[in-house]
Structure 1
Amino acid sequence: MKNLLFLLMLMVIIGLAGCNFGGDSSNESSTEDTIENSSENTGTVGEETSGKVINLTSDGDIPTLDSAHAHDGIAFTVLNNVNEGLYRGDDAHNPELAMAEDHQVSEDGLVHTFLIRDAQWSNGEAVTANDFEYAWKRVFEEVGHYNVMFETAGIKNASAIIAGDMTPDDLGIVALDEKTLEITVENPSALLNQLLTFPIFLPLNQAHVEEVGDTFGTEAETILSNGPFLLDSWQQDQGWVYKKNPDYWDAETVSLDQINVNVVKEVSTAVNLWESDAVDRITISSSYVDEYENDENFANVVRPEVIFMRFNHNHEHFANENIRKAIDMTIDKEGLTNTILNNGSVPLYSLVPQEFSYSPNEEVDFRELNGEFNQGSVEEAIALWEDGLSEIDSDGFEMSLMSSDDDNHVKSAEFIKNQLESNLEGITVNIKTVPFEARLENEKAVEYDMVISSWGPDYSDPMTYIDMWVTDGPANRMDFSDDEFDSIVAEANVETDAEVRYQLLLDAEKKLMDEMHIAPLYQSADALLTRSKIKGIVRHPSAPEYEYKWADVE
């Protein structure tokens, strides 16, 4: 039988369809639930191979592998494993030199000089300093989703280029020769090395990108690798296959020979595969927690991902502060996390999650310093609701609540609909469920009333949540704009005193949350089942999330 696991999965899916099971899917933002088989087993995608092989699942396809346009956890994980920038997050989440073998900083902290190590692309060409200069400037030419990360990193002229006052050629990066890269920053930054692990800062081979044109990043054949793994194949909506890159400069560190990633949306399917020993790590939904919580393979892992609702600020009712506050306050977030989700997620009454960031000297949790926002009773929520409707001369309205087809998001949407319609007179909520990629596209176009969204940190600093909401920022996605908020963020971006900067971050969050411009719901957790044979998969607290360079199978 050429592909035993494929037939097994097919039989399970057919069986579940016949029993009318379905609707359960894993965590949306960057889920890759690890499925591992030993030596010669294969996944749904890919051919049989010998050596160390693991199978992973993803609850969504890769939207794009063009690093200028990637903006989701699935793509970030793939890019992080097939490519490599100047720095890579190590197995303790600290930035370590990667494509750069040396990094020198000028006395004033403004000029950073990198020596590019001897490394090659998967087409055999050498990785050069020009690959970085081309890729970084291309982000601005393409108006990439994360060009603001260059501003966050303080790269010289990034802000002026975003504002349209300069061109991409003015960006503070230049290849002095084939091996020497010089980066100039506006101000010294302790975050620079960490930020450089983010996929937007990856290099690109210019000749290849120009040769494949518009197809770049849409198929496995249209990308090049310079990282631990090669993207051997990618079947749209089915899955993709990594294979060890024998020409990677640190190939001796990589233990795995192949990773098969299968798009599997239904948790019920994953659980059946677990029970049949075809799957070695999965994320389960709340309906399975009671069954497995005493299993030695079970664990709850709280993550810094935040789930929240965006309000379309162009909507007449959501432009009203009291209506936004009433909607947020009337939701029983403890009931949502403890009863509906039942997976270890914790209620969220803020933007920055708990146990993520600590003050520079006293090391006090950001959450302890800023407290919680907009907590109150249903009666207080009703009073806010009535005030808000009165202020805009309305007796209620009908609205849509968009959700991706992720199981937790679907359950959350149903719970929120019940809460709002039960507590707030005059509101009708219509749930609109769409695939993850469609939800992202609707958010970017601001084509929704309210939408359940998610955000995982790009780097380990509160700014990764706060600068989402600057005017016209790529992550804003709700036409929110506030000059005072923008000013606080801009000041924090250039402040070199760590304590002063931290207070500015606290002030920025308070400004956003005091007026409840978003409605926080919960801080995510995963309920995991993992077999002991899987070792070394690194899960970073910020993007890119998953690292397979050190993964192994016993």
Structure 2
Amino acid sequence: MKKILAMLLTGVMIIGTLSGCGDGTTEVATAGDSNVSAQATDNASDEGTAAGADTQVLNLRTTAFGNNYDVQDMGWRWMMGDCYEGLYRNVADEDGEHFILAGAESVDVSDDGLVYTFHLRQNAKWSDGQPVTAHDYEYGWKRLLDSSKGYDYASFALNVVGAEEYNKGTGSRDDVAAKALDDYTFEVTLKVADPTFDAKLVATPLYPTREDIAEAAGDNWGKDWTLCVYNGPFCMSELVEDNKMVWTKNPYYWDADNTKLDTVNWFLVAEDSTAATMFENGELDVLQTSGDYATKYSAAAAEGKYVELTSDYPGTVTMNFEFRDGGLSGLMKNVKIRKAISYCIDRDEMVEAIYGRYKPAYGYVAPAITFDGEPWRNQVEEPAKAEYEQYGGDPAKLQALFQEGLDELGVTTPISDITLNLLTSGNTIENQSEREYIQQVISQKLGCKVELNSVGDFALFKAQRDDNQYDMMIGGWWSDYNDPLDYLNTFHTGYYDSYGYYSNPEYDALADSLVGENDMAKRKEIYTQMENMLFDDCALAPIYYNTKQVFLQNWVKDFRTSSFGASQELYITRIEGRNR
């Protein structure tokens, strides 16, 4: 058996309980430092009041509270990552994104990679003092697979023996091979070995759920926060709709001694200007912002007034094409036309002029994604970069490429009489600047017309998207687990119809060949082929890779971010020097 040793770190997931935060103590291990927290500590002044003399209260801003407290739904990950905890936690440090054991103390993996035996921490408790057991994991996983619940992320567990049959209604719940062998031993048997399985364990759908609590709540489960219990370092203890949410330290958490914050206040602040004023007045300790505010605070951080943390985030914003009908113009069926449109966009210019942040994208898999322990983009060149540079934004070359595509389609309409439709959503100034930039550069460089169809309401956007009422649309993918496959699978036939109904049997065959493939060198080869094929076909036009930019007051120490757990990991954050 392969043995993964327990790692001395705690886990965190977000959400709280009204009644569960009572008195209690636990024995804990020492938490390690991450790259993000190290930056915060190193860049900020350590002079002043010791941590123990400060009030351990952290004030944060959000633009929405959400209304989903069901971990199996993964509807509110940013909160669930700090108040709940799964078997593993994802952390970011100087070694990049990686996993640490959290709810599990150790795990045995069979030599064939099929059987995972998780040994749970026996001092882990829910916020009402009840132990977290293997039965809670078994219930949570089987609840996820229950088709009557309609969970979108049931796919995360379909490789478990018996899971697909139960999910489809052709098998028994009892035959699902995710079982509690005893109170603290949880065994999972897979149908085929899957190197992405560990990455999915940090996602909330595979977290434990208390059967007695969930069943008693019935239809209110996940809707009423006062019915919840939590197994992470914080509990939700107050909610004032459209105003404020409060988390308090969970004394029953197994690593409570290393959870420094007593209270986390979340203020709902819609306007960036209001949030900026609160941050400058010290009423907010952490701020994520954009545009001129980000520029301002970045300059202030360089002078030592604040701390700036920047990191990659697993999201890629893209332009997608309508493949089923060729779009409203009928022209999107031709690869040369799609490439001419894509290569009109100067990604570097757009990122600098419109956003003032992010990274220009010439591939699909984002730099935040790692493979076999190393960032994917450090291992594999961006597939669109070389061809893009051949055209260099030259209108004559781009128009010639576009005309070749028209000729191949037998279209005799002059380019100047052609109109393309761009579907977008969002009401922010940044959204508007983005769509107008794309409209302008395509019109200027190709000589055709671009009609903007901008809808603020996502439901309306989705309706027009699903009805194929566009030529191009602005979309993107934000990964749910740390592996290139989560990106690449979105273009598998039938997997994600909102990507324009792209379909390529050769691409599907490559994706299917990964099932049961454990050789990481072989997987890398197949992933590379798949990503290259997407750009040979111009299945999409990448625009930028997401990044995360966070500003901290100097008194905020050991603040971490995470791409796949809580977006703001607060389990070892502390306040030091606020009162000096």
TM-score, normalising length: structure 2: 0.76
2:112 matches 1:95: no
Unaligned runs of 5+ in 2: 1-53
Q: Which moved more, 1:310-319 or 1:332-341?
A: 310-319
Does the CA contact (< 8 Å) of 1:443 and 1:478 recur in 2? no
1:177/1:70 CA distance change after superposition, 3 Å = same
SS in 1 for 2:518: coil
Name the CA distance, whole Å, in 2 between partners of 1:208 and 1:362. Answer: 40
Give 1:351 shift: 0.3
C-alpha contact (below 8 Å) 2:371/2:484 kept by paired residues: no
Of all paired residues, the percent bearing the same amino acid is: 26
- Confirm or deny: 8 A CA contact 2:309 2:551 kept in the other structure: no
Aligned to 2:310: 301
Question: Do the aligned residues in 1 keep the contact of 2:371 with 2:483 (CA within 8 Å)?
Answer: no
**Aligned ranges 1:150-549 → 2 under 5 Å:** 150=157, 154-157=159-162, 170-296=175-301, 297=306, 299=308, 301-304=310-313, 305-317=315-327, 318-343=332-357, 345-354=358-367, 356-357=369-370, 365-368=378-381, 370=383, 372=385, 374-375=387-388, 376=391, 377=393, 378-389=395-406, 391=409, 393=411, 396-397=418-419, 399-405=421-427, 408-434=430-456, 438=459, 449=470, 450-473=472-495, 478-549=500-571
Greater relative contact order, per chain length (Cα 8 Å cut-off, separation 6+):
2
Aligned residue for 1:86? 87
Judged with a 3 Å threshold, the aligned counterparts in structure 2 of structure 1 residues 360 and 225 are, in CA distance, closer, same or farther, namely closer
AA aligned opposite 1:366: Q
* Cα distance in structure 2, aligned partners of 1:440 and 1:547: 33
- Residues 352 and 367 in structure 1, CA contact (< 8 A), matched pair in contact too: no
Provide the C-alpha distance between the structure 2 equivalents of 1:354 and 1:81, rounded to a whole number of angstroms. 25
1:362–1:333: structure 2 CA closer, same or farther, 3 Å change rule? Answer: closer
The correspondence for 1:69, drawn from 57, 69, 73, is 73
Task: Report the Cα distance in structure 2 between the residues aligned to 1:245 and 1:362, rounded to whole angstroms.
Answer: 35
Query: For the structure 1 residues 356 and 202, does the alpha-carbon distance in structure 2 shift closer, same or farther, using more than 3 Å as the test?
Result: closer
In 2: Cα distance, 1:410 partner to 1:499 partner: 43
Name the CA distance, whole Å, in 1 between partners of 2:482 and 2:334. Answer: 33
Q: Distance in 2 between matches of 1:430 and 1:144?
A: 35
Task: Answer whether contact 2:320 2:473 (CA < 8 A) is retained.
Answer: yes
1:481 is paired with a residue of what secondary structure? coil
Question: What is the alpha-carbon distance in structure 1 between the residues aligned to residue 430 and residue 439 of structure 2?
Answer: 14
CA contact (8 A) 2:362 2:543 kept: yes
SS in 2 for 1:120: coil
- 8 Å CA contact 2:321–2:499 kept in 1: the answer is no
2:30 counterpart residue number: none
Q: What amino acid is aligned across from residue 520 of structure 2 in structure 1? A: A
Closer/same/farther in 2, CA of residues 524 and 94 from structure 1, 3 Å limit: closer
Task: State the secondary structure of the residue aligned to 2:385.
Answer: coil
Q: 8 Å contact 1:333–1:347 — kept in the other structure?
A: yes
Asked if 1:112 is matched to 2:116, the reply is: yes
Structure 1 residue 347, shift from structure 2 partner: 1.0
- Superimposed CA distance per residue, residues 371-404 of structure 1 (whole angstroms, 9 cap, x where no aligned partner): 6365133333333434445527475345342233
Letter in 2 for 1:328: S
1:149 aligns with 2:160: no
Pair 1:309–1:415, CA change in 2 (3 A): same
1:170 CA displacement: 4.4
The answer on whether the counterparts of 1:445 and 1:477 sit within 8 Å (CA) in structure 2 is: no
Distance 1:328 1:335, change over 3 A: same
- Tell me the distance in 1 between the aligned counterparts of 2:568 and 2:459: 23
The 3-state SS of whatever aligns with 1:148 is helix
Number of equivalences? 498
Decide whether aligned partners of structure 1 residues 134 and 527 sit closer, same or farther in structure 2, where only a CA change above 3 A counts. Answer: closer
Q: Which runs of 5+ in 1 are unaligned?
A: 1-49
**How far apart, CA to CA, are the structure 2 residues paired with 1:325 and 1:386?**
12
Q: TM-score scaled by structure 1?
A: 0.79
Quote how far apart the aligned CAs of 1:320 are: 4.0
Asked if 1 retains the 8 angstrom alpha-carbon contact of 2:59 and 2:283, the reply is no
